[in-house]
Amino acid sequence: MADNKKMVEDITSMDVDFAQWYTDVVRKAELIDYTSVKGCMVIKPAGYAIWELIQRQLDDRFKETGVENVYLPMFIPESLLEKEKDHVEGFAPEVAWVTQGGLEPLQEKLCVRPTSETLFCDFYKNDIQSYRDLPKVYNQWCSVVRWEKETRPFLRSREFLWQEGHTAHATAEDAEARTIQMLNVYAAFCEEVLAIPVLKGQKTEKEKFAGAEATYTIEALMHDGKALQSGTSHNFGDGFAKAFGIQFTDKDNTLKYVHQTSWGVTTRLIGAIIMVHGDNDGLVLPPRVAPIQVCIVPIQQKKEGVLDKAYELRDRLKGIARVKVDDTDKTPGYKFAEAEMRGYPIRVEIGPKDIEAGKCVIVRRDTREKTEVALTDLESKVPELLDQIQHEMLERARTHRDEHTYVAKDYEEFKKIFSEKSGFVKAMWCGDRACEDKIKEDLSVTSRCMPFDQETLSDVCVCCGKPAKKMVYWGRAY
């Protein structure tokens, strides 16, 4: 039992210090490590394996909608970045610059991409000539650099991994349809694969992406009641096209500007998984994104036949689950704690007495529930249980979000909720940025989204009392 405790004794309780709990988990579960490059981190094998599963499954969903993958350079000439005024102003504080190549100063500074809109525009202006060339539905998986002042593993670092989709269309209607389509892909992926329920809606003018006509978002609620923007999809209209001269000859033989979109998610999704599902013993991974879904722990493994049986079970299961045998020389208690720390959805315990009785013990990571299962039933029980865990993790997360979503109809009630509780607050808004600014200044609270499913909670703005235009979800965010 002492060994069992030792694995987790260094984890700060999430109720004591959630931020430190998070850092402890990513370090103890060996997902990430710090480097000598300030603000940049090593994603270790256990963390990168989660990203690979995200990437693989999301990429499949993209391709089902007609997306093709490309790769563009990581350097952007300063003159190119400055072609779209709003865009460059929005990113200027975060840009990293290359000013020297080898031993010679560069004639023109190169930006290390914070995002690739300008490069895609420069590419599209030559690649698109006719309506027959449209639509262009491209995506790239890459890293980007943003010179963040404060960093945190997965959630915010100076270099991070992501995908960025960039599409070009003949009409405004086609661009808007693609923008919403990709947001829906993200929302379905988060719920079906990551077991994270999300809110879908539009960002306000203040919060939208620099250079976009409209930004749509999925917002998730973490265990500590803070919001996490988990994916965005932007409709650029023809603003970038006009700045870069991206025109095409339409069917009526007239020149027209394309309409563009951009959409992306990042490795912060791994942070979301940790903060939505984790507990004081470490990670709790949804089965569909768990690199190891089943960990087999042999008990008294030095006794004849025990390891052989564990390997046999592994071989029987490896066609239906991602499975490993912990055959290290650590004690069973330590192995149990390590399996819990790493978030393996199912642990299978097998020892001499179990083998003799023709059974094993299955332990769920999410609920700690133990079940004895006949060895002959293992192939049918494991996938059934993985599906059950996946479903129940989503429903628990949904219940947590709903129980931490409140309604405020006036400013006193609004302030009282945020002073005493954490979570989302639904409240009406007049549409005036001054109210957004006041709320942020007073409470460090921002608008998260104007949900597609609107409700009329009252007739007036929660902040100023003027006629309301939209219902908004508000919250403190990462």
Last residue of a domain, which of 233, 254, 277?
277
- Do the domain assignments include residue 391? no
Q: What angle do CA 345, 46, 187 make, to 5 degrees?
A: 65
Residues spanned by the domain of 347: 292-385
Q: Are residues 268 and 296 in the same domain?
A: no
Inside any domain, residue 232: yes
Q: Which two tokens stand for residue 48?
A: 């990168």
Report residue 475 as tokens.
């919250």
The pair of three-digit structure tokens given for residue 290, joined into one six-digit string:
């768990």
Where is the domain boundary, 252, 277, 302? 277
As to burial, measured by CB atoms within 10 angstroms (0-12 exposed, 13-18 middle, 19+ buried), residue 450 is: buried
- Count up the domains in the chain and report the number: 3
CA distance 285 to 269: 12
95 in any annotated domain: yes
Last residue of a domain, one of 277, 309, 333: 277
* 286 inside domain: no
Is residue 284 in some structural domain?
A: no
Residue among 233, 252, 68, 244 nearest 171 (CA): 252
Question: Which domain CATH number covers 354?
Answer: 3.40.50.800
Instruction: Answer whether residue 154 is part of any domain.
Output: yes
Give 295's contacts (C-beta < 8 A, 6+ positions apart).
323, 324, 325, 326, 339, 342, 344, 346, 347, 348
Residue 29 lies in a domain: yes
The whole-number pLDDT of residue 5 equals 53
From residue 120, how far is each of 117, 140, 231, 262 by CA, in Å?
5, 10, 20, 10
pLDDT tens string, the chain, 478 residues long: the values are 444 555 566 899 999 999 999 999 999 999 999 999 999 999 999 999 999 999 999 999 999 999 999 999 999 999 998 887 777 777 788 999 999 999 999 999 999 999 999 999 999 999 999 999 999 999 999 999 999 988 999 999 999 999 999 999 999 999 999 999 999 999 999 999 999 999 999 999 999 998 899 999 999 999 999 999 999 999 999 999 999 999 999 999 999 999 999 999 999 999 999 999 999 999 999 999 999 999 999 999 999 999 999 999 999 999 999 999 999 999 999 999 999 999 999 999 999 999 999 999 999 999 999 999 999 999 999 999 999 999 999 999 999 999 999 999 999 999 999 999 999 999 999 999 999 999 999 999 999 999 999 999 999 999 999 999 999 999 999 9
User: Which two structure tokens, joined as six digits, stand for 343?
Assistant: 């978030």
- Do residue 204 and residue 265 come from a single domain? yes
Please tell me whether residues 298 and 441 are part of one structural domain. Answer: no
